[in-house]
Structure 1
Amino acid sequence: MPSLLDTLHCRQWFYPGPIRVFTPEEMAKAGMQPWPVAVDSYVALNLVTMLPALLFTRQGTGWATALMWWGFWCALALVTLALSRLLWRHPTRRRLNLYCYGTAVAVLAVALGLIHQGERDWVQRENITLIAAMTGVLSAWWMLTVFRVQQIEARLRELADQDAALRLQTRLAAAQIQPHFLFNTLASLQHWVDTGDARAAPLLRDFTAYLRATLPMFERELQPLADEVEMVRRYLAIMQARLGARLGFTLDVPAGLQAQVPPGIVLTLVENAIAHGVEPQLRGGQVAVAARHDGAQLVLTVHDDGPGLAPGWAEGVGLANTRRRLVNACPAATLTLADTHPGCTATLTIPTP
């Protein structure tokens, strides 16, 4: 049960501001949104409008006094904006109250100093103006801090939603890749076990290693290229066991090649190459996977010697999911498909550090 003080928000009367405190990691993740320039424009417009009003209302005190007051308000506005920018970068309740109470103490000290110098009448005459100005500044700081905290919270929620969507897409991609492959492999394995075929044991070893590599990988956003290649190697070995002489493959990926790729992205391209370039042909075909560094990027190709892209072809669900996952994980990466006569080549480029 919340206390009466919490219900009435009494703590906000004396220690106002947002309760939410962001960690340095959260601030770095949310990023620094630019300062709203409209605030500067609004303050400048008010200062320009204030000048003729001061000249008109203080004609009895002289032009110099009116300009002096205008300069005072300009200086106050500049200091206020400078502190506002600091609050924008660090929107904490503690900093807000430090500025608010510090300003109140400064105004009180100035007023007492003027009274001590014999300016009691001036202080009594202008105290309403000073209090109104101070109240406006403190209220603006409070609203600015609350707005900034809400902005950061919204950005963190947006990033969390994006991460959740990416994880969901990854799991959907896994679900789209695996079912028919798993069922067909299990059916072949069961048939070979029933008939005592010697190919059952090697297939079972490759299938077990494949599952061991793929089941945990879809929890990652990126994985080492070496892990991806090993998974592809197991997949090709299983498909070769099922298709026999109809499938040949080569893997030309240097052992020392260092890169991070979205999990399963190369596997999807290889699966498409077999499904559309090898299986439709009675003679079968060849699949070649190669990777190399080209300057500051990894270039990976998956080539098959099948019939190539059909006229008027369109991306399927698997390729569309792959492209979307690639963009989410590596916005600068590209994926292209091209006829190579014979066959089709998928080219994946990913920037590397």
Structure 2
Amino acid sequence: MSTPSAPRSWLSCDWSQWLYPGPRRVFTPDEMARAGMQPWPKGMDQYLYVNLILLLAVTTQAQRQFAWMWPAVLGLGWLALAVARWLWRSPTARRLNLACYIAGFVVAGAGVLAVKSGWRDETRAQLPLALAIMTSVLFAWWLLTLFRVQQIEARLRELADQDAALRLSTRLAAAQIQPHFLFNTLASLQHWVDTGDARAAPLLRDFTAYLRATLPMFERELQPLADEVGMVRRYLAIMQARLGARLSFAIDVPEGLDATLPPGLLLTLVENAIAHGIEPQLRGGHVGIAARRDAGRLVLTVRDDGAGLAPGWTEGVGLANTRRRLLSAFPAATLTLADAAPGCTATLTLPD
């Protein structure tokens, strides 16, 4: 049973907010760049100007000597909005207090100047209104700064949640890619060891190299294309050892092709080509992997000469996860599957 918390003492309050108000959170340049610059709400300008015009219309309707207030008040409104936009771009307590103290000194200096210019009575009469307007402006700046800080924090939390979901999706994809392949390979390896088959040693070497290269990769969000191709090459070598003459493959990826992609993406397409195109056929088949640049985009293709897409086929879990991970990393990327007569071609396009 929890005990009720003791009421906060006035001594525990943050009294520094009286002299130095504003948010304590200061965002780094990287955090600001990551959060992005949300657009300034244009409706705020319209709301302020409409209210200023109505206020001036009411207060100066019968006092023509105060017609000078129109440009003065509208000019001050424009200046207050300019400061608000300045705070919007970088909402810090330092900027907020700098703006507030400068505004206070300007208003105090204007009052002293008006008194020395012979406007003592007018200044005394308008002092409550001036203080009310200044307090409203300073309070609006304070609320705007707090709102902007909360908006940036919410955006950073959203991006962090997206990154966490992407990392989890990557790990789930790795779990879906590996189990049946690992178990089947281990079963073949055990059988060959038990029977003294000479293929056991090369398979073990390829399998060890595959695991050493693959397991750390799934901790990354993106990895170089060369690393992905190396992982695929090891996978195909293992599958060729298991399937023998039933599987042949070719990889046509230029060595200087510089690109990144989510780890295991190309591997999933190759695995699907073998599982659904090569293994079901008694005669086996061929898998070709190619990469090229086309109009500023990277195009990867995985083609097999198997039975092709079945009528009414739908995406499986592995392909659906692949597409989701691809679009999370590159919203403009595409992934298509088409009949190749014979076989199937998976085409992956990534923006530069």
Q: TM bucket by the smaller chain?
A: over 0.9
Q: What 5-or-longer segments of structure 1 have no aligned partner?
A: none
* SS of the residue 1:342 aligns to: coil
Letter matched to residue 134 of structure 2: M
- Choose the corresponding residue for 1:49, options 43, 51, 54: 54
Match of 1:133 in 2: 133
**Alpha carbons of 1:118 and 1:132: their partners in 2 closer, same or farther (altered >3 Å)?**
same
**Alpha carbons of 1:6 and 1:17: their partners in 2 closer, same or farther (altered >3 Å)?**
farther
TM-score, normalised on structure 1?
0.95
Alignment of 1:248-327 (within 5 A): 248-327=248-327
Distance in structure 2 (CA, Å) of the matches to 1:252 and 1:10: 68
Match of 1:115 in 2: 115
Match of 1:187 in 2: 187
| Contact kept? 1:250, 1:288, Cα under 8 Å | yes
Q: Which deviates further from its counterpart, 113-122 or 318-327? A: 113-122
| Contact kept? 1:54, 1:70, Cα under 8 Å | no
Alignment of 1:147-296 (within 5 A): 147-296=147-296
* SS of the residue 2:307 aligns to: coil
Say yes or no: does 1:99 pair with 2:99.
Answer: yes
Match of 1:18 in 2: 23
Distance in structure 2 (CA, Å) of the matches to 1:6 and 1:319: 60
Letter matched to residue 11 of structure 1: S
Letter matched to residue 144 of structure 1: L
Distance in structure 2 (CA, Å) of the matches to 1:30 and 1:19: 18
Query: 1:4: how far off?
Result: 6.0
Aligned-residue RMSD, C-alpha: 1.6
Match of 1:69 in 2: 69
Query: 1:313: how far off?
Result: 0.5
| Contact kept? 1:287, 1:304, Cα under 8 Å | yes
- Choose the corresponding residue for 1:40, options 39, 45, 55: 45
Distance in structure 2 (CA, Å) of the matches to 1:345 and 1:80: 61
* SS of the residue 1:187 aligns to: helix
Q: What do residues 25-84 of structure 1 show as CA deviations (whole Å, max 9, x unaligned)?
A: 11111111000111001012112312320233xx2x4x2x33211222101100000000
Match of 2:4 in 1: none
Identity %: 68
Q: What 5-or-longer segments of structure 2 have no aligned partner?
A: 1-7
**Alpha carbons of 1:233 and 1:88: their partners in 2 closer, same or farther (altered >3 Å)?**
same
Distance in structure 2 (CA, Å) of the matches to 1:235 and 1:327: 25
Query: 1:185: how far off?
Result: 0.5
Distance in structure 1 (CA, Å) of the matches to 2:11 and 2:297: 56
* SS of the residue 1:96 aligns to: helix
Query: 1:142: how far off?
Result: 0.2
Query: 1:180: how far off?
Result: 0.5
TM-score, normalised on structure 2?
0.96
* SS of the residue 2:38 aligns to: coil
Distance in structure 1 (CA, Å) of the matches to 2:301 and 2:317: 20
Query: 1:5: how far off?
Result: 6.8
| Contact kept? 1:308, 1:342, Cα under 8 Å | yes
Query: 1:190: how far off?
Result: 0.8
Distance in structure 2 (CA, Å) of the matches to 1:97 and 1:235: 61
Distance in structure 1 (CA, Å) of the matches to 2:147 and 2:111: 32
Say yes or no: does 1:335 pair with 2:335.
Answer: yes
| Contact kept? 1:335, 1:348, Cα under 8 Å | yes
**Alpha carbons of 1:127 and 1:297: their partners in 2 closer, same or farther (altered >3 Å)?**
same
> Number of matched residues?
347
| Contact kept? 1:5, 1:11, Cα under 8 Å | no
Distance in structure 1 (CA, Å) of the matches to 2:149 and 2:31: 12
Q: Which deviates further from its counterpart, 31-40 or 290-299? A: 290-299
Letter matched to residue 54 of structure 1: T
Query: 1:6: how far off?
Result: 7.1
Query: 1:126: how far off?
Result: 0.5
Distance in structure 1 (CA, Å) of the matches to 2:190 and 2:23: 63
| Contact kept? 1:222, 1:261, Cα under 8 Å | yes
